[in-house]
Structure 1
């Protein structure tokens, strides 16, 4: 895999935002044959240092991913995430239609692990605070396209909040849903405040899987 020129959504001296394809992990793991780290040298654009991811997207989630082009910028962007000076929006096709048109899921999350099923995130009052706002954009053929704007960035947050908070899992989710077909979750937009400097801001077009699902013109 090589990143096409149109995979870069934003670039300046501090930041690069790429449109990460679904199926590519951000970091390598024990069962990960390839990851974004294998392709960072394609994203130097004249810099000696390799850019480094500031946050993560699940392997099967596509869309906006922020990379820092130097250690000072990486630290500053991490502080922006910690201080909630980052605006993120995701879209997903749900495997059904929620009862309400919009809402907020305030559900703390914790991690469980079993030998039979591996690990997953679940509702846990003693876990990490997690809040996600959502609204239905459109409904087609018994499935809803939903816009998510999370306040926090916990592991699998949107996936668990859809399945356990809204009560309708994301289509194709192999852990919290039926796992049939590709997982239809996309990091649509990202905006990172940089104080006196213009913000880092990008929007990723819907991927082909959303088009194939009948939602390519929904936004």
Structure 2
């Protein structure tokens, strides 16, 4: 199955750079292509981490930046910041109201076609920030649209099988729940490769041992928002990282150009 021209825009190869790759910048907004493994800001998740996207971008462009949405540490791709607090309030409200548009690229276990998953997710509490929160919240609405871009079969034994199947997916979250895409793919029994929390350990190990992949194969490829000042729609595309592109080539999971 091959991607459409529109979908191919989401899987372009990035150019390598020692600095953060800036995808969009004006007087109010700046977006980067966040590498996998980089925390957005200081967090209890890793008290020993020394690099953070907020500080790196601040030092790179020489001014304060404010993140307006989340991107998991192991996920690469579009991460949007604003340069003033008024714009921050405007943009953050768009994410709360779910008026932004986002799409991701992921490699999942097995052959999966396309569909729309409407499966509520139990709220995941932060053990520090949610210490005093109501722990009896009902499951939250969570909807994900998914579409296969390409499929492959790798001639390497995983468990009792002599080969393993994988799909390159376009994932479009219609809601913004914590770890929504990772949890939804697990629910479909097609977990994302490299997911150590919601994935399949045998397949993760195979990718580490055979393809030197030590990351989650999930990439935030596209984001659109309404500009806080011009009120025009801004569309941002993030090329795949070189490591992501390499593993797609290694497992013969390609998309027609």
Instruction: Establish whether residue 182 from structure 1 lines up as the match of residue 215 from structure 2.
Output: yes
The alpha-carbon deviation at position 199 of structure 1 amounts to 2.2
Q: What does the per-residue CA deviation read over 1:147-184, in whole Å, with 9 as the maximum and x for residues that have no partner?
A: 011111111000000111x2210001001112424210
More strand by share: 1
| 1:11 equivalenced with 2:25 (yes/no) | yes
Residue 50 of structure 2 corresponds to residue 36 of structure 1? no
CA distance in 2, matches of 1:217, 1:143: 12
Figure out how many residues of one structure are paired with residues of the other and give that number.
Answer: 202
Relative to 1, partners in 2 of residues 1:81 and 1:184: Cα closer, same or farther, differing over 3 Å?
A: same
Larger RCO: 1 or 2 (CA < 8 Å, sep 6+): 2
Aligned counterparts, 1:60-71, within 5 A: 60-71=74-85
Q: Name structure 2 gaps, 5 residues minimum.
A: 1-16, 126-135, 154-164, 205-213
- What TM-score, normalized to structure 2? 0.71
SS of structure 1 residue aligned to 2:236: strand
Match of 2:122 among 104, 110, 118: 110
Aligned to 1:193: 226
**Pairwise CA RMSD of aligned residues?**
2.4
Equivalent position to 1:72, from 80, 86, 89 = 86
In structure 2, C-alpha distance between the alignment counterparts of 1:73 and 1:9, rounded to whole Å: 18
TM-score normalized by the length of structure 1: 0.83
Q: Highest CA radius of gyration, 1 or 2?
A: 2
Identify if the C-alpha distance between structure 1 residues 199 and 131 changes in structure 2 by more than 3 Å, giving closer, same or farther.
same
**What CA distance in whole angstroms lies between the structure 2 residues aligned with 1:112 and 1:68?**
27
